Amino acid sequence: MSERIQIASRDGGQFAGYLARPKSGKGPGVIVIQEIFGINANVRAVADRLADEGFVALAPDLFWRQEPGVDLNSQTEEGWKRAMELYQGFDVDKGIEDLIATLDHLRKLDGVNGKVGCQGYCLGGLLAYLMATRSDIDAAIGYYGVGIDGKLDEAKNIRKPLMLHIAQADAFVDATAQKKIHDALDGNPNVTIHDYPGMDHAFTRLNGQHYNKEAADLANGRSLDFLRKHLGA
């Protein structure tokens, strides 16, 4: 059961979100944080899958300040070109403001039990990490987040559970960046990091160039257990 909804921004605007509910209509909330391709079929599929597992999943359109309704094909050159343009123009701080507005919206939504987590990919992986440092979200999961190594000064603010999935052969997050992440976060009891040897960026993106079913199933299973533990379902 899915629908398009509107979310009020903190500075007077409105942006869209893709909302997927479980058959029961109620459960914990999960914000699905997009990659650089907008709210495309892959992001909607993640939200639908979480709804099937008993969560109320909401994927907000974070590119709305540049271009509302972005829905790009990650398998085309044109899609990649436009995605990179949008990524370069993206304001991370405004993105976090919009995610906090999404968090507030989801917590108040009928059927949500008050607990809300987030799960993000690529750019969304960075934003999930920042939600753990800048908001009171109940749990956060980041898949192959790009740029986390440049925001590690915020790690001291992590107060709620955070899980990171790191692709060890990630073309966008090199070994030096990965080491910085481990050095900064391994000692934090709120943080769990899983490494995936030989996996490249976006190894869980269904039909993607680097998709690996075995590793994707492992990561997704870990994420589901993590959300159930900290949010209930």
Which of 18, 22, 17, 31 lies closest to 1 in space, CA to CA?
22
- Residue 105 annotated in active site: no
Task: Specify the 3-state DSSP secondary structure of 17.
Answer: strand
> Which residue shows structure tokens 């994927």?
59
Give all strands of the β-sheet with 162-167 in edge-to-edge order: 2-8, 14-20, 56-60, 27-33, 112-121, 139-143, 162-167, 191-196
* Burial class of residue 154, CB neighbours in 10 A (0-12, 13-18, 19+): middle
Name the catalytic one among 105, 165, 201, 210: 201
- Residue 194 annotated in active site: no
Backbone angles phi, psi at 99, to 5 degrees: -70, -35
Name the catalytic one among 170, 183, 195, 217: 170
Which residues carry out catalysis? Answer: 170, 201
